[in-house]
Amino acid sequence: MAAGPSSYGWRFDAGRICLDLVATGMGTSGACEQLDRPARLADWLVASGLVPKGTPLAAVDDSWVARFRELRAGIDLLMTAEPAGRSADGALDRINALAAVAPPGLRAVRGKGGVLVRALSGGPACDALLAAVARDAVELLTDPVARAGLRRCEGDACGRLYLDTSRGRRRRWCSSEVCGNRERVARHRRRVKAVS
């Protein structure tokens, strides 16, 4: 999940690009805003794989940031409301409208050493990139098996959304290495304190 930049870069462990976008916001986790300026959005677009590395992103501006944040809010609302049996028809209408736009065209080109790499067939367009994320949200919401794996992290002060694809569907944290480790450390400290 894209929890934001850290010493090792963006985290992507939510299992879907739409959930990774949701993780960039404050939402229920109380984290700080990660898409706070165009350069950060451009970094996320590349790190998430929506845009191949090396793609010029000079067109990314504050309007792109606002539109991605609006999509993020709609996805967060839908992913919270729908599994709980509540409707969020305004957000659903907006996501459906965004998903109707053609996603970015891709092509294979020769990179260093003649290896095929992915490139956009044209310059990156905000509408097309929003469409790719919105389509991922539509696919998740309309796939009963995937939707059944939608979870919210049980980590203290986290609450990020993720897709549980574990064998027993018993995953509790968005990231075992981050929230899971924090929980194990806290549990260990409680045991040590109880013995003392």
What pTM does this model have? 0.82
Give per-residue pLDDT as tens, 36-73: 999 999 999 999 999 998 899 999 999 999 999 999 99
Give 69 or 122, the one with higher predicted confidence.
69
Give per-residue pLDDT as tens, 10-40: 666 678 999 999 988 865 444 678 899 999 9
How large is the average pLDDT for residues 74-86? 90
Tell me which of 34-43, 104-113, 157-166, 183-192 is least confident.
Answer: 183-192
Cα distances from 143 to residues 146, 149, 166, in angstroms, run 5, 10, 17
- Residues 2-6: contacts with CB within 8 Å, 24+ apart? 2/34, 2/44, 2/47, 2/48, 3/31, 3/34, 3/160, 3/174, 3/175, 3/178, 4/31, 4/32, 4/34, 5/34, 5/40, 5/43
